[in-house]
Amino acid sequence: MESREAPPEKPAGQPPGMEVLSFTPDINLIVIRGGRNRGLVLGCPVSVVRKGETIATGRVVDLREQVAGAMLDLEASSGMAPQAGDSVRSP
């Protein structure tokens, strides 16, 4: 019988392929393509990146296997609204 290692407590590096699926501006929430399968954990920080520039930051507040939700801190953002297709990174 094989032993299973516990999942990492926080993401390692920048999982490839995470992106914004949708943005709800009235509650500052993005839906991310990528969840536990990309190493995200509840509360971990995320950055929304467009053309190499970070446009918003936030934290994961809802987590599923293949999708996640993150609340953004738009006061600390560039003033640009996230759009579907923007990259999402987690340190």
Instruction: Say if residues 85 and 51 touch (Cβ distance below 8 Å).
Output: no
3-state DSSP call for residue 21?
Answer: strand
Q: What is the pLDDT of residue 91?
A: 78
pLDDT digits (tens, 9 = 90+) for 6-25: 333 434 454 458 999 999 99
| pLDDT score, position 79 | 78
What pTM does this model have?
A: 0.78
Q: How confident is the model at residue 47 (pLDDT cuts 50, 70, 90)?
A: very high
Question: Any idea what DSSP says for residue 24?
Answer: E
Tell me what pLDDT residue 66 has.
Answer: 97
Distance in angstroms between the alpha carbons of the first and the last residue of the chain:
34
Q: How far is CA 25 from the centre of its chain?
A: 16
